[in-house]
Amino acid sequence: MITKTRLFWTTLVLALVSSGALAALPTSVGGQAVTSLAPLVEAAAPAVVNIRVTQVRRNPFGRPGEVGGAGSGVIVDAKNGYILTNHHVVGEADEIQVSLIDGRTLDAEIVGSDAGTDIALIKVEADDLTEMPIGDSEDVRVGDFVIAIGNPYGLTHTVTSGIVSALGRTNISRDGFEDFIQTDASINPGNSGGALVNMSGELIGINSMIFSRSGGNVGIGFAVPTSIASSIMGQILDFGEIRRGLLGVNIQSIDREAAETLDIDVEGGALITRVFPESAAEKAGLEVGDIIVGVNDKKVTSAAELRNTIGLLRSGDKIDISYLRDNKSRSTSAELGRAEDQLMSGADIHPGLAGASFAPSSTSSDSGVEVTNVEEGSPAAQRGLRSGDVITAVNRVLVRNLRDLAAIAENNRILFLLVQRGDRSLMLQIR
The one catalytic residue in 99, 114, 118, 290 is 118
Distance separating alpha carbons of residues 223 and 226, to the nearest angstrom:
9
Contacts of 245 (CB under 8 A, 6+ apart): 310, 311, 312, 313, 314, 315, 316, 317, 336, 337, 338, 339
The answer to whether residue 157 is catalytic is no
Cα separation values, 115 from 42, 112, 156, 174, Å:
32, 10, 25, 12
| Rg of the chain taking only CA atoms, in angstroms | 23
Its sign, for the CA torsion 69, 70, 76, 78, is: positive
Q: What are phi and psi of 232, to 5 degrees?
A: -65, -45
The answer to whether residue 387 is catalytic is no
The answer to whether residue 192 is catalytic is yes
Do 352 and 415 touch, CB atoms closer than 8 A? Answer: yes
> % helix / strand / coil in the chain, to the nearest 5?
20, 40, 40
The one catalytic residue in 192, 212, 302, 322 is 192
Which of helix, strand or coil describes residue 89?
helix
Of 349, 342, 321, 327, which Cα lies nearest the Cα of 412?
349
Of 146, 149, 145, 206, which Cα lies nearest the Cα of 4?
206
The one catalytic residue in 88, 113, 315, 341 is 88
Which of helix, strand or coil describes residue 286?
coil
Do 253 and 373 touch, CB atoms closer than 8 A? Answer: no
**HSE value, Cβ hemisphere, 13 Å, CA-based, for 365:** 5
Its sign, for the CA torsion 107, 9, 161, 177, is: negative
Of 118, 100, 110, which Cα lies nearest the Cα of 223?
118
Contacts of 232 (CB under 8 A, 6+ apart): 112, 114, 117, 119, 121, 242
What DSSP state is assigned to residue 409? Answer: H
- How many other C-beta atoms can be found within 10 angstroms of the C-beta atom of residue 172? 14
Contacts of 136 (CB under 8 A, 6+ apart): 204, 226, 227
Distance separating alpha carbons of residues 348 and 380, to the nearest angstrom:
12
Positions marked catalytic: 88, 118, 192
